[in-house]
Amino acid sequence: MLCSCTRTAHLGDNELYWRRNRTLLGLDVGSSAVKAVEITLHGPEPVITGFAHMEIPAGSTAADVLPELMKQGRFKARRAAAALAGPSTVVRYVPMQPMSDEELRAAIRFESDKYLPFDVDECRLDCQALEALEPEAKTRTVLLAAARNSLVDERVAQVRSLGLAPECIDVDLFALANAWELCAPPEADGTPRGAVALVDVGAVRTSIHVLANGRTRFSREIPIGGTDMTAAVARRMSLDPVQAEEAKRSGEADEQVAAAAAPVLEDLANELALSLEYVEHHEGVVVDEVLLSGGGALCAGTREQLELAVQRPVRWWSPLEGLRVDESRVDVEQLGRWTPTLAVAVGLASRVRAA
């Protein structure tokens, strides 16, 4: 059930006709909050038809708040896509001999031992060739994604406990890419888009995904996030964690918050710069800009610090850009407040186009 595809398949007009009003819920279960976005196909058009966000209180777990999240969202979807992240998931770019997709899926389990930190029998894995099968080519780059069985089973159980059928279990990194593919501006005059780095700063980790001309070229998770910034603010400003988080969000003491979080932001910026340097030297692509999302990135000074480190434009991007919202079912003001945190949930729900 682990899905590693980074693009959602496009359906033909006839197929879209029969799949009108299909609905899928994207369920993002984080360490500090849970988010859900519902997308419904109105003909070929994806429309936001549901949204909910809930913080996970101290001492509680995601399982404690998920039922209330569903009640709050009043979703109509009966299927959901969820995702995994963290050290129990693995994403690797593997060079393999040219072979058909069917042969690839049979061979990948034998190759995966070299790339997994756990036994292949302890995990679910999936793969996808990133290049067309060319007879003259000596190798073919293959994207390998794997996650421990226990983690996959836990997420499936969470989805089913809410009365939903699990459509797929994805990886946060790929959901991020799918969100960008859903809302990315069209190519001008047929000119391919340049390479972009999607950087989503969560509570405990930052996801980096580089796309060039619609193709995934690099993925990485950095174990630095908004919680680290909150802790730094708490120490520097002599606040408790709740007060420090409020100081980050309120914008009332931005200069002090930026100064307090600067050491954490510097570490994050250095890791991002190293990642972009690696992908440019090893993949031969030039990353034109960095697109920033995630609740952790809302800390004052984040965009400026990252831009200084990578020496290229860093801007916010909205995973809802270009999408219509059903205002009769969605609180638009609340949706706008949490938009920067919804990239993973939107990317998961975008799979409605291929469901």
Q: Is residue 100 part of a domain?
A: yes
Nearest to 231 by CA among 271, 200, 208, 265: 265
Q: Is residue 7 part of a domain?
A: no
Average pLDDT, the chain: 88
How many separate domains does the chain show? 1
Q: How confident is the model at residue 193 (pLDDT cuts 50, 70, 90)?
A: low
Q: Is residue 62 part of a domain?
A: yes
Counting Cα atoms < 13 Å in the Cβ hemisphere of 322 gives 13
Q: Is residue 57 part of a domain?
A: yes
Record the pTM: 0.89
pLDDT score of 14 more than 50: no
pLDDT score of 10 more than 90: no
For range 261-289, the mean pLDDT: 93
Structure confidence at residue 109 (pLDDT): 85
Domain residues for the domain of 201 are: 13-353
Q: Is residue 223 part of a domain?
A: yes
Amino acid identity at 199? V
pLDDT score of 12 more than 50: no
For range 123-148, the mean pLDDT: 85
If one compares 272 and 245, the residue with the highest pLDDT of the two is 272
Cα-based angle 306, 311, 314 (whole degrees, multiple of 5) = 50
**pLDDT tens-digit map of 148-187:** 999 999 999 999 999 999 999 999 999 999 999 898 766 6
Q: Is residue 6 part of a domain?
A: no
Q: Is residue 253 part of a domain?
A: yes
Parallel, antiparallel or unpaired: strands 23-29 and 314-316: unpaired
Q: Is residue 244 part of a domain?
A: yes
Instruction: State the Cα torsion 39-44-45-50 to the nearest 10°.
Output: -20
Q: What is the CATH number of the domain that holds 180?
A: 3.30.420.40
- Furthest-apart CA atoms within the chain: distance in Å: 64
Residues contacting residue 44 through CB under 8 Å, at least 6 positions apart: 11, 13, 16
Beta strands in the chain, from DSSP E residues, in sequence order: 23-29, 33-42, 45-55, 79-84, 89-96, 123-129, 140-148, 165-171, 195-201, 206-212, 215-222, 287-293, 314-316, 324-325
